[in-house]
Amino acid sequence: MQTGAMPVLLNHTIVGAKDGETAARWFADLFGVTEPRHWGPFWEIVTENGVSLDFMSYGDHPVAGQHYAFLVSEDDFDAIYGRIIEHGLEHSADPHQEQKGAINHDDGGRGVYFPSPDGHLLEIITRPYGSGG
Protein backbone atom coordinates (compact mmCIF):
# COMPACT_ATOMS: atom_id res chain seq x y z
CA MET A 1 0.00 0.00 0.00
CA GLN A 2 1.32 3.39 -1.01
CA THR A 3 1.35 6.01 1.71
CA GLY A 4 3.25 8.92 0.09
CA ALA A 5 1.95 11.46 -2.40
CA MET A 6 4.41 10.41 -5.11
CA PRO A 7 3.94 7.09 -6.95
CA VAL A 8 6.82 4.63 -7.08
CA LEU A 9 8.36 4.86 -10.56
CA LEU A 10 11.48 3.22 -11.92
CA ASN A 11 13.92 6.06 -12.63
CA HIS A 12 17.11 4.30 -13.77
CA THR A 13 19.06 1.09 -13.65
CA ILE A 14 22.74 0.32 -14.12
CA VAL A 15 23.49 -2.01 -17.01
CA GLY A 16 26.84 -3.73 -16.54
CA ALA A 17 29.10 -4.06 -19.59
CA LYS A 18 32.71 -4.82 -20.37
CA ASP A 19 32.79 -1.39 -22.03
CA GLY A 20 29.87 0.90 -21.21
CA GLU A 21 30.27 3.19 -24.22
CA THR A 22 30.46 0.31 -26.70
CA ALA A 23 27.42 -1.37 -25.11
CA ALA A 24 25.35 1.82 -25.07
CA ARG A 25 26.19 2.61 -28.69
CA TRP A 26 25.31 -0.99 -29.72
CA PHE A 27 21.97 -0.63 -27.92
CA ALA A 28 21.23 2.78 -29.50
CA ASP A 29 21.99 1.43 -32.97
CA LEU A 30 19.92 -1.74 -32.58
CA PHE A 31 16.93 -0.02 -30.96
CA GLY A 32 17.11 3.06 -33.19
CA VAL A 33 17.18 5.50 -30.28
CA THR A 34 19.14 8.69 -29.58
CA GLU A 35 22.88 8.31 -29.12
CA PRO A 36 23.93 7.81 -25.49
CA ARG A 37 25.24 10.70 -23.47
CA HIS A 38 28.26 10.44 -21.22
CA TRP A 39 27.46 11.25 -17.61
CA GLY A 40 29.96 10.52 -14.83
CA PRO A 41 31.05 6.87 -15.17
CA PHE A 42 27.97 6.04 -17.26
CA TRP A 43 26.76 6.07 -20.85
CA GLU A 44 23.08 6.89 -20.55
CA ILE A 45 20.15 5.98 -22.79
CA VAL A 46 16.75 7.39 -21.79
CA THR A 47 13.62 5.50 -22.83
CA GLU A 48 10.41 7.22 -23.97
CA ASN A 49 8.88 6.72 -20.51
CA GLY A 50 11.82 8.48 -18.86
CA VAL A 51 13.68 5.47 -17.46
CA SER A 52 17.41 5.71 -18.02
CA LEU A 53 19.67 2.77 -18.74
CA ASP A 54 23.07 3.70 -17.35
CA PHE A 55 25.69 1.54 -19.03
CA MET A 56 28.75 1.13 -16.81
CA SER A 57 32.12 -0.35 -17.73
CA TYR A 58 33.09 -3.37 -15.64
CA GLY A 59 36.33 -4.01 -17.53
CA ASP A 60 37.69 -7.46 -16.69
CA HIS A 61 35.20 -8.01 -13.86
CA PRO A 62 32.41 -10.47 -14.69
CA VAL A 63 29.13 -9.01 -15.89
CA ALA A 64 26.06 -10.66 -14.36
CA GLY A 65 23.51 -11.18 -17.12
CA GLN A 66 20.13 -9.55 -16.49
CA HIS A 67 16.82 -9.54 -18.35
CA TYR A 68 15.50 -6.30 -19.83
CA ALA A 69 12.11 -6.21 -21.59
CA PHE A 70 10.96 -3.30 -23.74
CA LEU A 71 7.41 -2.54 -24.83
CA VAL A 72 7.53 -1.22 -28.41
CA SER A 73 5.07 -0.31 -31.14
CA GLU A 74 4.35 -2.66 -34.03
CA ASP A 75 6.40 -0.43 -36.36
CA ASP A 76 9.31 -0.31 -33.92
CA PHE A 77 9.14 -4.10 -33.53
CA ASP A 78 9.48 -4.46 -37.30
CA ALA A 79 12.48 -2.09 -37.37
CA ILE A 80 14.28 -3.60 -34.37
CA TYR A 81 13.57 -7.18 -35.44
CA GLY A 82 14.85 -6.28 -38.92
CA ARG A 83 18.14 -5.11 -37.37
CA ILE A 84 18.32 -8.30 -35.25
CA ILE A 85 18.10 -10.32 -38.47
CA GLU A 86 20.46 -7.95 -40.34
CA HIS A 87 23.09 -8.28 -37.59
CA GLY A 88 22.69 -12.07 -37.54
CA LEU A 89 21.80 -12.12 -33.84
CA GLU A 90 20.53 -15.33 -32.32
CA HIS A 91 16.94 -14.91 -31.19
CA SER A 92 14.07 -16.98 -29.91
CA ALA A 93 10.38 -16.87 -29.12
CA ASP A 94 10.92 -17.89 -25.49
CA PRO A 95 13.20 -16.97 -22.58
CA HIS A 96 14.65 -20.48 -22.40
CA GLN A 97 15.77 -20.06 -26.01
CA GLU A 98 14.21 -23.35 -27.09
CA GLN A 99 12.26 -21.87 -30.03
CA LYS A 100 15.29 -20.50 -31.87
CA GLY A 101 14.83 -18.23 -34.87
CA ALA A 102 11.17 -17.57 -34.03
CA ILE A 103 9.01 -14.88 -32.46
CA ASN A 104 6.02 -15.34 -30.16
CA HIS A 105 2.48 -14.00 -30.43
CA ASP A 106 1.67 -13.81 -26.73
CA ASP A 107 -1.34 -11.71 -25.74
CA GLY A 108 -2.14 -11.08 -29.41
CA GLY A 109 1.10 -9.19 -30.00
CA ARG A 110 4.64 -10.14 -30.97
CA GLY A 111 7.74 -10.73 -28.90
CA VAL A 112 11.29 -11.94 -29.27
CA TYR A 113 14.28 -12.57 -27.00
CA PHE A 114 17.92 -11.98 -27.97
CA PRO A 115 21.26 -11.61 -26.19
CA SER A 116 23.35 -8.47 -25.90
CA PRO A 117 27.11 -8.76 -26.45
CA ASP A 118 27.58 -8.62 -22.65
CA GLY A 119 25.24 -11.54 -21.97
CA HIS A 120 22.04 -9.74 -21.01
CA LEU A 121 18.80 -11.26 -22.29
CA LEU A 122 16.87 -8.52 -24.07
CA GLU A 123 13.23 -8.77 -25.09
CA ILE A 124 10.94 -6.66 -27.23
CA ILE A 125 7.16 -7.05 -26.99
CA THR A 126 4.26 -5.23 -28.61
CA ARG A 127 1.69 -6.06 -25.91
CA PRO A 128 2.19 -6.17 -22.14
CA TYR A 129 1.97 -9.66 -20.69
CA GLY A 130 -1.49 -10.44 -19.36
CA SER A 131 -3.17 -7.85 -21.59
CA GLY A 132 -5.13 -10.48 -23.53
CA GLY A 133 -5.46 -10.48 -27.24
Q: What is the pLDDT of residue 6?
A: 84
User: What's the N-to-C CA distance of the chain in angstroms?
Assistant: 30
- Please tell me the pTM assigned to this model: 0.92
Q: What is the pLDDT of residue 3?
A: 67
User: Do residues 108 and 132 touch, judged by C-beta distance below 8 A?
Assistant: yes
Q: What is the pLDDT of residue 126?
A: 98
Q: What is the pLDDT of residue 65?
A: 95
Ordered per-residue pLDDT tens for the chain, 133 residues: 556 688 999 999 999 999 999 999 999 999 999 999 999 999 999 999 999 999 999 999 999 999 999 999 999 999 999 999 999 999 999 999 999 999 999 999 999 999 999 999 999 999 999 998 6
Q: Which domains does the chain have, with CATH numbers?
A: 11-60 (3.30.720.120), 65-133 (3.10.180.10)
Q: What is the pLDDT of residue 42?
A: 98
